[in-house]
Structures are given as structure tokens and as C-alpha cells.
Amino acid sequence: MKILFLIPVCLSLILSSCAQRPEPCKSPPLLEGALTAFIPGQHLRVFEKFSYDAYGQNVRVRAVGKEGSETFFVDRLLLFREGISYEIHYRNQTCVKTALKVRFRHIGVPHDAHFLDQMVLGSSSILGQGLLVNNWNGTAEETKENYLLTFTAFGCVPLYTIDFTQKGELSVMTSFFDLVEGIENPNVFIPPSFCDSVEVLPAKEGVMTNSFFGLL
């Protein structure tokens, strides 16, 4: 009789434990914000503002960076359904259109990522002074490179990503901030008129495709 009583209790505990374990997730489908990235192998630092539309599969990125002693600026519009990448130069009203052959990647934790732990950034003892986050790791299927991810526990908002080379060396460190759900100006995904007559060039080789962050 005791055994029969213990069986449902054990099952209840197991199900409760499974239910509390975080699952891989997708970020909000409409998202805008900024990020900083550091690529030590290329001595490259980048600051970006981006707009992300998972419904229409569009991404707009405006980036300023420093590679060695040189500073650069990039304004790029990626329209995945149309299969075109625009590199836009408003200063001289020019545009470079390139075929975009990689598939759209959602912002989020990959389905095969492994949950590491959960923690509070800031203070957990003072109301409103802490942020509950989940840490994940995994291996990118296409590149076989390892990664670490930190996303908010509620809302699945990205905070930090760290990518490693196959040799285990640091590849890219990215941190996100000022993230807002929604798109302030939907016209951000419409290319300027001076791009209309520009010929589409063949797709570039060697584009990182293992994640949304690689595309950024």
C-alpha cells in the first residue's frame, strides 16, 4: 500500500522538476536595440543599432567600428524573403546589392542548446534591482564551434553571447542593451529609391550563418 502511495508522489516530483527546467526559446518577433561586439582575432570593435522583424524576415543594421587604427561605418539592410542584401551609402547616394543566399535566423536560444544555470544579475534581495537570466551553451551545427548564451528568463531577450573557434579560442563577444519590443519606424526595412536600378551582385562567400548573431 505504501509503494502504491509513493509512486504518484515520485511521478509528481519528477514532472515538477521537468516543468521548472527552462526550455530553448525565441525572442520577441519585433525587436530593436543596440549591441557591442569584440572580435579579438581581428582587433575589431563594433557598435551596432539593429531592427529585427521575424514576421517579414527583415533585418536592418547600422554599425560603426574600429579595426586597428581605422574607423568604418556600415548601413546594411537584409531582406531574406527577397534574397537581397543592401549596403547603403547615403552620403554619395550609392548602393551595393548582393544576393542573399543564407536562410533567416531567429533571435533566440537554439533548440539543441544545453541549459547551464539560472542566476540574478544585480541584487536578488532588493525588489526591482535584479534580473533573472538563463545561461546556455552548445555547438553550432554548421561550424562545429562552441558558444555561450545569456538570455532573460522571462521574454527570452538576448543579453550576452560568446563564440569560440574550433580550437577553443575566443572568437566573438557580444553584449546587448537598450532593447525595445516593436519597430518604431517600419520604413526602416524599405531600401532607398537610389537602390532601385542597381544590379544584384552574386552572393558573398564565407558569410557566417550559424546564428542570427553571426549575420549581424
pLDDT digits (tens, 9 = 90+) for 93-109: 999 999 999 989 999 99
Least confident of 124-133, 148-157, 177-186: 124-133
What integer pLDDT is reported at residue 211 of this predicted model? 55
- Mean pLDDT of all residues belonging to the chain: 87
For range 177-189, the mean pLDDT: 97
Q: Is the pTM of this model over 0.85?
A: no
- Please state the three-class secondary structure of the chain as a single string: CHHHHHHHHHHHHHHHHHHHCCCCCECCCEEEEEEEEEEHHHCEEEEEEEEEECCCCEEEEEEEEEECCEEEEEEEEEECCCCEEEEEECCCCEEEEEECCCCCCCCECCCCCEEEEEEEEECCCCCCCEEEEEEEEEECCCCCCEEEEEEECCCCCEEEEEEECCCCCEEEEEEEEEEEECCCCHHHHCCCHHHCCCCEECCCCCCCCCCHHHHC
Q: How many whole angstroms from its chain centre is CA 39? A: 16
> Which residues touch 136 (CB under 8 Å, ≥6 apart)?
24, 109, 113, 114, 115, 116, 148, 149, 150, 151
* Residue 67 pLDDT greater than 50, yes or no: yes
For range 70-94, the mean pLDDT: 95
> Which residues touch 19 (CB under 8 Å, ≥6 apart)?
none
Contact 89, 72 (CB under 8 A): no
Domain 30-201: CATH architecture, name and number where available: Clam (2.50)
Integer CA distances (angstroms), 126 to 13, 50, 68, 131, in order: 30, 32, 43, 11
Phi, psi of 55 (to 5 degrees): -65, -50
Cα-Cα end-to-end distance for the chain: 61
* Residue 207 pLDDT greater than 80, yes or no: no
pLDDT digits (tens, 9 = 90+) for 17-28: 445 789 999 999
CA–CA separation, 103 vs 99, rounded Å?
12
Q: Which three cell numbers stand for residue 103?
A: 536562410
* Residue 213 pLDDT greater than 80, yes or no: no
